[in-house]
Structure 1
Amino acid sequence: MYVIAYIRNIILILLYLKIIKSIVTNADTKEEILKMKDNYYTNYYCKNDICVGEIHIYNDNFIDIPDENGNITKYNVGTCTQDYIDTDDCNGSECSEDSECLSNKCYKNHCIFYDETPIVHCSNIYKRRWFLDPTVYMYCGKAPDDTCNEDNECSSKHCANNTCQSQTDGPSDSDGVQSYFEALIIIGVLIIVIIIAIIIGCCCYNKKKYKNNTN
């Protein structure tokens, strides 16, 4: 009896500590992020499989991410490609050391995307489907503005002009319009089916009636 109570108390304490840690750090593991469903317009930055939502970015380009021991580190996520930095078109906050950057690479006082330590970014993917509920899931990949060749490389699953785009799709007023047209199509198909059924029924009835009259 005492052993069961002791184990229960230990479990409650562990759960309590986990909740407190989550509240303080606003962090989740990458595994937990990928299990999320029905989260719209949600994005995360990750470091060593610990992720923090973009909503917690402050001073435009900085985010606090804890390590596995709960120690908080401030990272600069204002990252640019080398071309943007070389042409002085990078608007990200400046850096002086590699460790300041989430990409772990500071180049000409700017954080640069670095293939050896790529930034892991997770976004919710929202795909509309005709006559079906939308597909909603989390996906992790390269961060927006990083270079890419294929959609699957990017967290948004959208690569355009060799650059990862931001994920901006989600529920909108257009969903209602789509549902309206879907309803019209379904009603139209039902009407056509009913008309065809009536025509076939009439033909069968007249054919049967004709046979009876000839007999």
Structure 2
Amino acid sequence: MQYKSGQKCIKIPDVNGNEIEYIIDMCSRSDIERGKCIGVRYCNKDSECLYNECVIRPNLSEQYGRPTGFCTFTNNTEISHCDVIYSPTRWFKSYSGYMYCGKGFEISYETNLECSSQSCSNGKCSWQYDNGPREGEGLTYGVVYLGIIVIIGIIISCICCCCIAFKNRKRNKMLYLE
């Protein structure tokens, strides 16, 4: 199987070892019906789509002179999308995440765990909004950690200076008493 991040197709070998290209760039039926599938690769027949469903759009077919539409998934489709699920930051722990696959955006669900985002609303899977790390967040943690280390260093230095001064004073008292 060949896939590179950002591609709209995947090549999967058949039983004879021949690689067959499938479109993995899909739209939900509701987005197809509302004309909201922008930048999504077109299909001409069901067999071009990973989930074997190409919804032909009459306006596109007229424009291209052949049946043209978008790949979609059916409600039987177990997995149609994968998301990175991020755990929130804690005191000294930055974001961590794991890949979770399930039903994609606006697909009907029975439980949150069926959705790739593990998030839902109004009976359909939702996108995972703003749950990931922000740009430059690693730098922020670095600065905070560095600041804490500097403060600890200053405190240790002050304690050492006080101990040395105390020992010197004690030694001076001993010398004075002699």
TM-score by length of 1: 0.46
Where structure 1 has 5 or more consecutive residues not aligned to the other structure, the ranges are 1-24, 27-51, 192-215
1:54 and 2:17 aligned: no
Identity percentage of aligned residues? 35
Alpha-carbon shift at residue 151 of structure 1 (Å): 5.8
1:106 and 2:67 aligned: no
- The structure richer in strand per residue is 1
The residue number in structure 1 matching 2:144 is: 181
Where structure 2 has 5 or more consecutive residues not aligned to the other structure, the ranges are 57-68, 156-178
- Paired residues in the alignment total 138
- The structure richer in helix per residue is 1
Deviations 1:101-160, CA, capped at 9 Å, x for gaps: 1222122322122111244444444444331354243322234x4536676444354557
Stretches of 4+ moved more than 6 A in 1? none
Give the greater-gyration-radius structure (CA): 2
Shift of the 69–175 alpha-carbon distance from structure 1 to 2, 3 Å rule, reads farther
Distance 2:15 2:83 in 1: 22
1:139 and 2:100 aligned: yes
Deviations 1:23-78, CA, capped at 9 Å, x for gaps: xx44xxxxxxxxxxxxxxxxxxxxxxxxx3434x1xxx322233576432211123
The residue number in structure 2 matching 1:66 is: 13
Deviations 1:155-197, CA, capped at 9 Å, x for gaps: 3545578433489845842122134335656859xx7xxxxxx
Distance 2:116 2:132 in 1: 13
Which of the pair has the greater relative contact order for Cα pairs under 8 Å at 6+ separation?
1
Distance 1:69 1:163 in 2: 39
The residue number in structure 2 matching 1:117 is: 77
The residue number in structure 1 matching 2:164 is: none
The residue number in structure 2 matching 1:19 is: none
